[in-house]
Chains A and B, each alone.
Chain A
Amino acid sequence: MSDSQRQNYSHKEKQEVFDQEFMPHINAMYNFAFRLTFDEDDAKDLVQDTYLKAYRFINSFEKGTNAKAWLFRIMKNSFINDFRKKSKEPAKVDYQEVETFYNSDDVDKAITSDLRVEAVQDMMGDEISNALNSLDVDFRTVIILCDLEGFKYDEMAKILDIPIGTVRSRLHRARNLLKEKLRDYANKMGFKN
């Protein structure tokens, strides 16, 4: 945002924006934080950090625009910059593979997908949740943003700082990985392919 677009809120206005536009999303923010960190204390710290930053930079936020996307973007950046560094091994995603996925043999492989809708519908919440949690954070994140939070591709592109084409291919790859995990569960549950 250029200086001319920066807001100049009074203290009272800042508080109003914070309460009316930011705070209504705190449950979704906590859920996202927990899905990123898998730890309640870390999730709490991440939410707190995100809201403190949101307030610090509140003059960059234009009232009435997409506050939820703005907050998710701050959280994603905070997680990458502060929290992810704490982990021993940062998540690795083969983006070259992701980018070329649509043109690969995997497309044909997907046509013969053997996961049945009946098997999926019989799964318990824990199985879905565990499968989602087992994905690399970058893949997990696109599914959370799209399927849980209902962000559109253009909003996800802004939150994640990636082109829309990458959002689409990463989401596609993430869903196939999720399906692989669920297929394993389905097999364990005894569903015949």
Chain B
Amino acid sequence: MDSNPTEKSSTNQPDHSECMKLLQLVLDDEATPTEREVFEKHVCNCMPYFEIYQVDKAIKSLVKKTCCGKDMPTDLANEIRAKLFQKAD
């Protein structure tokens, strides 16, 4: 069946569109072990995809590193608690 990534890979013919789907699954740690294996086999022999994967990984890690730290106003948590519990406390 065409949709089986392992069968495609066994022909040694690169299926870029299948690999594109797998790339994201691998990047987000959502791939099954079989999908990961197919992807890794593909990128070993496919320089453009190897580079795309490295770029995507670098962007993901930079987004995580640089976009997380918006400082919350110090009084916000207390304000919320006060609104909810002040009367009852």
Write the residues of chain A forming the contact surface with B, with a CB cutoff of 8 angstroms: 11, 15, 18-19, 23, 26-27, 30-31, 34-35, 40, 43-44, 47-48, 51-52, 55, 102-103, 107-108, 110-113, 115-117, 120-121, 123, 125, 128-129, 132, 143-144, 146-148, 152-153, 168, 171-172, 175, 178-179, 182
Q: Which residues from chain B sit less than 8 Å from chain A, CB to CB?
A: 16-17, 20-21, 24-25, 28, 30, 48-49, 51-52, 54-56, 58-60, 62-70, 72-73, 76-77, 79-81, 83-85, 88
The answer on a CB contact under 8 Å between B24 and A172 is: yes
Bound Cα distance A123, B66 (Å) = 11
Complex CA gap A34/B69 in Å reads: 11
Complex CA–CA separation, A52 to B21 (angstroms):
40
**What residue of chain A has the Cβ atom nearest to residue B58's Cβ?**
A120
User: Known: A102-B21, A111-B16. Contact between A31 and B69, CB under 8 A?
Assistant: yes
Min CB–CB distance A65 → chain B (angstroms) = 21
A132:B79 contact, CB within 8 angstroms = no
Task: Return the contact of B30 from the options A18, A107, A110, A153 (Cβ within 8 A).
Answer: A153
Q: Contact check: which of A11, A51, A172 meets B88 at CB < 8 Å? A: A11
Is the beta-carbon distance between B62 and A120 smaller than 8 angstroms?
yes
Please name the residue on chain B nearest to A23 by beta carbon. Answer: B77
**B58 and A47 form a contact (CB under 8 A):** no
